Chain A
Amino acid sequence: QQPVQSPQAVILREGEDAVINCSSSKALYSVHWYRQKHGEAPVFLMILLKGGEQKGHEKISASFNEKKQQSSLYLTASQLSYSGTYFCGTADNTDKLIFGTGTRLQVFP
């Protein structure tokens, strides 16, 4: 039931791009993306609703393919501040949000 994220970890140099994937075995109504820095609470990045929409926030964007029950988070021209653990959260037709396994991202100068 828990969505699966891949890869588990990513190491980047500043300026490089990365893609984080989130897959669910259940039909999805929405996908949420959060970033958590070490020792801090998760912080909201974006929500995508069914309909295959794509969203963007500065150099971070995401897509949602409801038929494939997948979402991808795209980080372009990564910055040091992007380092952290990224979680997707998925919701079906209920209000309950289940978080994925997490992807640890480290950006080095």
Chain B
Amino acid sequence: AQTIHQWPVAEIKAVGSPLSLGCTIKGKSSPNLYWYWQATGGTLQQLFYSITVGQVESVVQLNLSASRPKDDQFILSTEKLLLSHSGFYLCAWSSNWGGAGEQYFGPGTRLTVL
């Protein structure tokens, strides 16, 4: 069975500080990986996706960047946090073949920027 782990569980950071969030998936070879952002009670906004190691596509510009250094790892980062970066960050995966395009989410990281 596939498992998806995100770290850290929660972060409180100062405006202007750097950030790095991580996501690891086990039990699935060559998954498609995604980053989402969610405001409290809000919809899910896709930020990035990656279909292979070293390749990341940006969906929206929010002064964030993403990288996929390994097949099972996806990193979200920024050098300078803004207040608007506060929210719930979710990593998700989908199969790279077959399936209906459904995505499965990790437990998320709650970020508070002060």
Q: Are the chains A and B members of one assembly?
A: no
Question: Interface on A for B, CB 8 Å cutoff?
Answer: none
Question: Interface on B for A, CB 8 Å cutoff?
Answer: none
